[in-house]
Amino acid sequence: MVVTPTISSSSSVEDISSQQINILKAADDLYGGVRVEMKEPIDYNDFDTLLRTSISHWREQGKKGIWLKLPLELANLVEAAVKQGFWYHHAEPTFLMLVYWIPRTDHTLPANASHTVGVGAFIMNNKREILVVQENNGRFRGTGMWKLPTGIVDAGEDIGEAVIREVKEETGIKAEFMELLAVRQSHDLSFGKSDLFFVCMLRPNSFDIQKQDSEIAAAKWMAFEEYAAQSYIEKREHFNYIAKICAAKIDNDYIGFGAHTATKASYQRKKSCLYFNNNGGLVVPDNI
Amino acid sequence: MVVTPTISSSSSVEDISSQQINILKAADDLYGGVRVEMKEPIDYNDFDTLLRTSISHWREQGKKGIWLKLPLELANLVEAAVKQGFWYHHAEPTFLMLVYWIPRTDHTLPANASHTVGVGAFIMNNKREILVVQENNGRFRGTGMWKLPTGIVDAGEDIGEAVIREVKEETGIKAEFMELLAVRQSHDLSFGKSDLFFVCMLRPNSFDIQKQDSEIAAAKWMAFEEYAAQSYIEKREHFNYIAKICAAKIDNDYIGFGAHTATKASYQRKKSCLYFNNNGGLVVPDNI
């Protein structure tokens, strides 16, 4: 079958010329598959027929994976796709991504995002006091425990940007990123996903605390030794290690990973950042 | 209104006693919300009514977030939930999780997983040769470039476990985890998510290569200098840095982050792992 796809007036449908068969408008991906993004409302039965015809067409073309993006407004089409053999790949607040695998082999589609990412800030003034907070929510709420400012790294956000943003939001303190001191990987947190938590050292550029009221119950500068002596830190192995790492850093006895922003591939809007131990310019000159 | 929820015979519905109102069976979460997991088939209109009644009930109870988990088999119910104001939170191959926020304030529901996580293995034999592969797919396919074995870290999998598994799968080589050498964060990769890539040093415990045919075109031990001199490594800043880090490691001039498996919270099935620079037992005794 010779097909010459042309784009029809409808944004989601294209017309295969010689036989006047309508199929869904699709873009080829780099792995022998196609991507379909539905945008306009369409009747359930019309979509059902179009999808069936389209799959046949792509099968004849030897296509592999089919990605189908349905915006929240077109939730009425989800059932039709699932009945034809699609399954869920991932979802965000405004859309659902479904996939289908045409070959008779196991699929080789990439996995969904698997980790949430968090940051904690170790930030000290010149009196050996560190910035600590008490939160309005979470497991230490109401316990009187002081903790490092922490937060979530969003998709598209650098670890270093995220930790600076969280410190500013929670305490009003302006700071700059110095080093990754440690990384913790935990499992079985939100929704069966895993979590990576980066302990970051920051240098403060301001010192007057303006706490955020909605999330933060209290914020202050606290003597490091007082922070580290809190019972919840002494009792929990990893908190204890992190406090020891910070203590070693204070004494200039610890080297973490510095940030080296560098390459950006053509398909990326933002540069990648590599974190490593560049102790004294050992790996690359320190002035990059 | 006094309600005394009792569990009815249907697994997804409960009966609010005195008034004989049916609502969806729900479990309280730790943040003032409820979680509903639909399992049994139910008619669209029956579900629509039950969901409406349930939301009213939870609103009267002062509940906040509603989590609604719909298995793939119940895709027919997605539209009903969306029409009542639910939106998508996340999806996995077998289910879709929707959310709804009852209060008139901005929601404080946690974000979906934001990062994919990858690993690369730096693994050397006693002839200063490193284990390298050529892949059947991906952007270096057919280029003749030799690269470190790489792979994806699954949710629930330790970074150290993942890199050992990938090396074994791709090359048959058995190895043990030594150190994280570097971490790269990249953006705008799959599905708008970001990616964390951990360069790991492993020590080989076997040396005969048995390559996997489906993903790997070729695998061999290659002189490190020959690997590092490949043009794609010299030209790409981060690949170049990573090669320099490996070279420094070979010369015992580099300290990365070792793995320290330790704490497990009561709600976790698996221990967390903290990676840090424990140079000579500086932070914690090295024999843990």
Residue of B nearest to A69 (CA): B191
pLDDT of A44-90, one tens digit each?
999 999 999 999 999 999 999 999 999 999 999 999 999 999 999 99
Tokens of B288: 């843990």
Looking at residue A2, what is its pLDDT? 28
Q: Which of residues 35-74 of B touch A (CB under 8 A)?
A: 72
Looking at residue A112, what is its pLDDT? 86
Helix (H, G, I), strand (E, B) or coil at A119: strand
Looking at residue B140, what is its pLDDT? 78
Confidence of residue A254 (pLDDT cuts 50, 70, 90): very high
Among B70, B73, B107, B115, most A C-beta atoms within 10 A, so best to mutate, is: B115
Cβ-defined contact of B256 to A277 (cutoff 8 Å): yes
Please tell me the least confidently modeled range out of A194-203, A205-214, B139-148, B178-187. Answer: B139-148
Under 8 Å between Cβ of B167 and B255: no
A170 catalytic per annotation: no
Please tell me the least confidently modeled range out of A123-127, A157-161, A211-215. Answer: A211-215
| Closest CB to B152 among A91, A111, A283 | A111
Query: What is the rounded distance in angstroms from the CA atom of residue B143 to the CA atom of residue B148?
Result: 15
Give B111's contacts in chain A (Cβ within 8 Å): 116, 152, 154
Give the pLDDT mean for A160-171.
97
Give B232's contacts in chain A (Cβ within 8 Å): none
Looking at residue A249, what is its pLDDT? 93
Query: What is the rounded distance in angstroms from the CA atom of residue B62 to the CA atom of residue B60?
Result: 5
Looking at residue A8, what is its pLDDT? 38
Give the pLDDT mean for A139-154.
89
Looking at residue B47, what is its pLDDT? 97
Q: How many residues does chain B have?
A: 288
Give B91's contacts in chain A (Cβ within 8 Å): 88-91, 96-97, 112
Looking at residue A142, what is its pLDDT? 82
Predicted model pTM: 0.85
Among B89, B92, B288, most A C-beta atoms within 10 A, so best to mutate, is: B92
- List C-alpha distances in Å: A54 to A1, A47, A62: 14, 10, 12
Read out DSSP for A41-84?
---HHHHHHHHHHHHHHHHHTT--EEEEEEEGGGGGGHHHHHHT
Query: What is the rounded distance in angstroms from the CA atom of residue A261 to the CA atom of residue B237?
Result: 10
Please give the mean pLDDT across all residues of chain A.
Answer: 88
User: How remote is the C-alpha of A253 from its chain's centroid?
Assistant: 32
Query: What is the rounded distance in angstroms from the CA atom of residue B54 to the CA atom of residue A77?
Result: 25
Cβ-defined contact of A282 to B181 (cutoff 8 Å): no
Whether B157 has its CB under 8 Å from any CB of chain A: the answer is: yes
Looking at residue B185, what is its pLDDT? 95
The per-residue pLDDT string of chain B (288 residues; one tens digit each, 9 = 90 and over) reads 223 333 333 456 665 554 557 899 999 987 889 999 999 999 999 999 999 999 999 999 999 999 999 999 999 999 999 999 999 999 999 999 999 999 998 888 888 899 999 999 999 999 999 999 999 877 778 888 999 999 999 989 999 999 999 999 999 999 999 999 999 999 977 677 899 999 999 999 999 999 988 889 999 999 999 999 999 888 888 899 999 999 999 998 899 999 998 766 666 678 899 999 988 777 777 654
User: What's phi and psi for B131, nearest 5 deg?
Assistant: -80, 125
Nearest 5°: CA angle at A123, between B111 and A218?
65
Give catalytic residue positions of B.
169
